[in-house]
Amino acid sequence: MILAFVLSLFVACGGDDGNEQYPPHTTNQTEPPTIPTLPIQHIPNYIITLNIEPAHRHISGVLHVDFVNTSHSYVDNVYFNIPLNSFNSNAQFIPFFEPFEDRIFRHGINSQHSVGYVSITAASANLMPIDFSISENILSLHLPESLPPSTGIDIGLIFEAQIPLISHRTGANANGMWLGNFLPVLSVLSVNGWHNYPYFPAGSPFFTQTSNFVVNITTPLNYSVASSGIATTTSSEFNLTLVEAHRVRDFAFVVMSENYNTARTTSHEGINIAFHWSSASTEINYAEILSTASRALSYFGRMIGPSPYNNLEIVEVNHFMIGTQAYPGIIFVDSQLLRSRAVHNSLARDIAHQWFYNVVGNNPVQDAWLLYGLATFLAFDFLMEPSYVSAYIRHLHENLSNTIQGITYNALSTNLGQFDSWSDFYNIQYIRGTVFFYALQQQMGATTFDRFLRAYYERFAFGIATTADMMAVAEEISNMDLQDFFYDWALSYALPPLPEIINLPKIDYIPEFGWGDIWELE
């Protein structure tokens, strides 16, 4: 009875009915290992050709994907998310908080260089032209006939894109272009319908499913590509880079000029790691960056399960926060962060996201804490001895206990659209989420918690997990009734106290995880 009540609260606070509509915000590789996974009804296969002109920041592309109606109803429209259109000069929904405007728009928000968009010039179904419409960041393709359940269709798009000179997930500078959350991708279709979201300012509001990508990228000879997946480049009049990325949740890449430097290493498990940077080489300790990445990959592989990917690219970009941005097999690192010791902490967290976000997916609009809280907790575990983890999280718990009642929406199930500042989002989804998983570890015991973590990963690898799924696995593995625990630590207005631990070390160093200037901006 209590469990049903807890689950009903999660649905009430962050339930997902499909086809969600939200008002504008008020403020401006290789095959995976053989492990037990959820049954997968269909993995979309994208075949994409991109011709890139870096001098004009222009991209022309052709995309084909096999769409299958996995719902229980007939489908009349197929939806794609095209996030870059939120940076069109005509966009009504502002995808950032006002304090970040100057950092994002280096040339001014009204500059012609700050405008970005994807323009769809043609769409097809089974190679026959079809009508389409675009509303902000959502593309709707109107099928000529209703598509029955369990039936597939080939969807084609021809598009043009303009990349803005901004510091965001997609952007550009004099050294190249970085393209995260750039490609048009299918919205998620569940039994509840389509999940179409605005580009919320907080978090990463991109709900995606595991897919396969084959991408052909043409660039001038003096440009190279770092990307998700495994890339092979041939040269003639241009560079042609063929990328294959299997079972990834997103496809991201960077087009790099000859100003980039590259250093490489290989982890103990044979994962190839490359670090690409464009700053002066004397400013960057690339050996330390590669060492942190290699050790983190090994650590999480032992703790959670083997990484299903053989490559990891780390690339310097200009980001709107002094932090890192994780994508499958590639991590974007802000230039300013590279000059800080905090780069190692932020990098560790985003390597943990290769397991929890990429392999184990979830709806980041409804259940953001499942990826942010868990990855941050795992980064602490990698970076610090257990006693220091306990001491530091107790420090976080004390600070959050003093501030949480001043945050209007402070449950872990809070929808991204409810947050009106990055600091509130960070305190709830990162910090409260981290404290939750630490408290769960203390409740279960470290050995049982490790078993739970591996079971959760294996059971939902390449699928989509919900809060209820995670709760069920935790109760199953621990053989405990955790219903009251989940309510108190995830939903209650005030944080419960943590159990006392004697002889904890004194915390005289507070690790920074990037994004440390959020508070100064807000």
303 against 5, higher pLDDT: 303
Position 510 confidence tier, pLDDT thresholds 50, 70, 90: low
Distance CA 431, CA 398 (A): 11
Whole-number pLDDT of residue 23: 35
Phi/psi for 375 (5° steps) reads -65, -40
What's the chain's average pLDDT?
89
Whole-number pLDDT of residue 40: 45
Judge contact between 454 and 359, C-beta under 8 A: no
Whole-number pLDDT of residue 322: 85
Whole-number pLDDT of residue 24: 37
Q: Round the CA-based radius of gyration of the chain to a whole number and report it.
A: 22
**pLDDT tens by residue, 47-101:** 999 999 999 999 999 999 999 999 999 999 999 999 999 999 888 888 999 999 9
SS3 of 225-279: the string is EEECCEEEEEECCCEEEEEEEEEECCCCEEEEECCCEEEEEECCCCCEEEEEECC
**pLDDT tens by residue, 18-34:** 444 333 333 333 333 33
Distance CA 293, CA 266 (A): 10
Q: What is the mean pLDDT of residues 119-128?
A: 97
**pLDDT tens by residue, 237-267:** 999 999 999 999 999 999 999 999 999 999 9
Q: Per DSSP, what are the bridge partners of residue 12?
A: none
Name the pairing type of β-strands 170-173 and 176-179: antiparallel
Share of the chain above pLDDT 90, in %: 79
Sign of the torsion angle spanned by Cα atoms 434, 435, 440, 443: positive
**pLDDT tens by residue, 186-199:** 999 988 899 999 99
pLDDT surpasses 60 at 17: no
Whole-number pLDDT of residue 122: 98
Read off the pTM: 0.91
Q: How far apart are the first and last CA of the chain?
A: 42
Position 502 confidence tier, pLDDT thresholds 50, 70, 90: confident
Please, is 232 exposed, middle or buried when counting C-beta atoms within 10 Å of its C-beta (0-12, 13-18, 19+)?
exposed
Distance CA 1, CA 106 (A): 54
Sign of the torsion angle spanned by Cα atoms 112, 200, 514, 225: negative
pLDDT surpasses 70 at 342: yes
**pLDDT tens by residue, 139-151:** 999 999 999 999 9
